[in-house]
Structure 1
Amino acid sequence: MSALDLVQTAVLGLGTGLALIIAIGAQNAFVLRQGIRGEHVAVVVVICALSDALLIAAGILGIGALIEAAPVVVDVIRYAGAAFLIGYGLIAAKRAIRPGSLTANEQQGPLSTKAAVATVLALTWLNPHVYLDTVLLLGSVANSQAPDARWWFGGGAMLGSILWFSALGFGARLLRPFFAKPTSWRILDGAIAVVMFALGIRMAIGA
């Protein structure tokens, strides 16, 4: 393949990757919240981007076939992920309805690095859709390219993850003036709670 063909394949991977990760989800909601609060943003962004890179690479290497051969593993992940999301939704709901002054600088105490890392890892790796979309779907599309172009596609998809999570995490600080109001935080946490509950319930029923 020519250099132009390889670049076009990488751009296709970039667009496909972005299309899959931009949708509002538990992981994105957490990255946004951490970005607004300005807590452990770099760590969270790196974990999200690196996790996507590993999952995309796994798909290209054919790990998706193992997932299809052992659906029970996905089921276990699905139920564990559903329980985690519903639990996180309850915490967000509690923040939303709890009275008190909550601003961007005055939350219920900063989230520790360990807690932030554990949360983002759980939101990423306990999501069965990550294996179905990122590993199976992206892996299949990547492997449908010419043999010398599949990693260009994967590289484009990985770049999409880096760009998206960086923009979401570091760009969220632009919203800080709006979230200087306690009501704004309660609205955000209420929205996060709804997203977590909805995703958790859908995951539990296998939707």
Structure 2
Amino acid sequence: MTPLLAGLLTGLSLIVAIGAQNAFVLRQGLTRSHVGLVVAICALSDALLITVGVSGVGSVVAGTPVLLTVLRWAGAAYLAAYGLRSLRDARRPQALEAREAGPATRRQVALTALALTYLNPHVYLDTVLLLGSIGNQHGEVGRWWFAAGAVVGSVTWFTALGVGARAAAPALRRPGTWRVLDAVIGVVMIALAVGLVVG
């Protein structure tokens, strides 16, 4: 297997799992609210973190447990707050049309995407440490091909998730469907927060 293909498959295997980023990108894609901005922030952030990991900075992060501890608690608090907000929204569902006309500004959406990315310690563990260590096993040149494959996987996934969510929009014209989606997102976010706190 070439380093490029290995990077693509490894990157996809880590990013496809349900997480805070994916839930947010899906939600923005469904409401068609600043989708390009959210996809760009998530994909570019992944590209940056993958490059940082493959360049060897991952070992520095691993040697700074205080940084990971701070990120863990900050991330847990943010995910819990986001999850509780989603559960609150599930109690008073709106149709898709109302959500499309919602008050979220570009700045609010961008800050949320950045927070869900950089306040999540799993991003550093998976992207910087894990991908970085695997990438460095491919040698001086191969590691950069590995990184390129992982970046392609990330860009492809976030684009497909954000843009592809529009195909599901017709099913979400009913407020009841949003109640289920908000409840699921809320439970996932709170479960991730609890997971960060306990370990």
Same fold? TM cut 0.5: yes
* Contact 1:39/1:110 (8 A) holds in 2: no
Q: Does 1:116 align with 2:116?
A: no
Structure 2 residue corresponding to 1:190, chosen from 145, 158, 183: 183
Structure 1 runs, 4 residues or longer, greater than 4 Å off: none
Describe the SS at the equivalent of 1:61. helix
Counterparts of 1:39-188 in structure 2, within 5 Å, are: 39-98=33-92, 102-107=94-99, 109-188=102-181
The letter for the 2-side match of 1:106 is A
CA shift at 1:42, angstroms? 0.2
Taking the aligned partners of 1:148 and 1:182, their CA distance within structure 2 comes to 52
The count of residues paired between Structure 1 and Structure 2 equals: 198
SS in 2 for 1:24: coil
String of CA shifts for 1:124-162, please: whole Å, max 9, x gaps. 101101111110110011110021111000000000000
Deviation at 1:109, TM superposition (A): 1.9
Q: Distance in 1 between matches of 2:64 and 2:162?
A: 34
Give the match for residue 27 of structure 1.
21
Gaps of 5+ in 2: none
Aligned to 1:201: 194
- Bigger share in helix: 2
Aligned-partner residue type, residue 166 of structure 2: R
Which residue is equivalent to 1:18? 12
Structure 2 Cα separation of the partners of residues 145 and 109 of structure 1: 47
The superposition leaves residues 107-136 of structure 1 with CA deviations (integer Å, 9 ceiling, x where unpaired) of: 282311111001010101011011111101
RMSD in angstroms over aligned alpha carbons? Answer: 1.1
Percent identity between the two aligned chains: 52
Query: Partner amino acid for 1:103?
Result: A
1:89·1:192 contact (CA, 8 Å) conserved in 2? Answer: yes
- Determine which structure has more spread, i.e. the larger CA radius of gyration: 1
**More deviation, 174-183/63-72:** 63-72
TM-score, structure 2 normalization: 0.97
Instruction: Answer yes or no: is the 8 Å Cα contact 1:48–1:120 preserved in 2.
Output: yes
Deviation at 1:65, TM superposition (A): 1.2
Rounded to whole Å, the distance in 2 between the matches of 1:39 and 1:110 is 10
2: CA distance between counterparts of 1:30 and 1:148?
A: 35
Q: How far apart in 1 are the matches of 2:48 and 2:168?
A: 31
